Amino acid sequence: DERHRPDSLPHLTGDSVNMTTWYAIPSKRPPAEAESSLRQWRQQGYRVALWRDSGDEPVACDMLLTGPYPGYARAVNALCGEIVRRDADCQWIVTGGDDIQPDPFSLAAQIAMDCTVHFGGTFGVMQPTGDRWGEDAKGSAYIDRICGSPWMGREWCERMYGGRGPLFEGYAHMFVDEELQGVAVRLGALWQRRDLCQHHDHWMRSESRQMPAFLAMANSPKHWQESQALFNRRKAAGFPGHEPAVRVAA
């Protein structure tokens, strides 16, 4: 990253200081490995919510849900539902994985305030696109085509899919992020920011290029083909069921 950390942190207004921003993910890695990533999120001002499978060692966090793994979208939706129920100050929830790092030069509260101002509220999805992994000759990187580590506003989390959660639960793992982008574009609610970088420490970027064992099923050719076929059907049909619940006046 060619940017440089400013000499002083950005000024935060009273409203932004009072807001809370969460990083909410399912995590399967051993605690020591997961903690190395989650520590960075906490240092930048995020609270951390985790889904851990039944029998896995717990990881230190602000909120922990456990149970048989229901799939990525269902786990994230469950976490988001608990966060908005328990934390009235939460305005934005970020998701991704325990191999993603926060933007090192921006505090959570400042990005959250930027998002709220941009959308005029919290019905929206913001994806940092500063991680240019896989950029091709036309300047398109992997992160330009998906919402792989999105910021999802409180209202988006509360209203999407008829109020069932921010993500479509029909995918077990793959294509959740591509449908999220497609739906956000369809609703005019996507903001991509090249000035923010949430680095994805993907296993394909490692020296060994060794896939973690717990990802083997999700990355199998059969799983990929089935999920891609489902995505293509849903995209052609306009992502049925994505419609947000009607907002009830306070």
pLDDT at 173: 85
pLDDT digits (tens, 9 = 90+) for 126-156: 999 998 866 788 888 889 999 999 999 999 9
Which 3 state secondary structure label does DSSP give 234?
helix
Which 3 state secondary structure label does DSSP give 90?
strand
Q: Which amino acid is at 55?
A: G
| Average pLDDT rounded to a whole number, residues 70-99 | 96
What's the whole-number average pLDDT of the chain? 87
**Residue 162 phi, psi dihedral angles, 5° rounding:** 65, 20
Query: Distance between CA atoms of 190 and 83, rounded to whole angstroms?
Result: 22
Query: Distance between CA atoms of 72 and 172, rounded to whole angstroms?
Result: 6
Task: Give residue 227's pLDDT band: very low, low, confident or very high (50, 70, 90).
Answer: very high
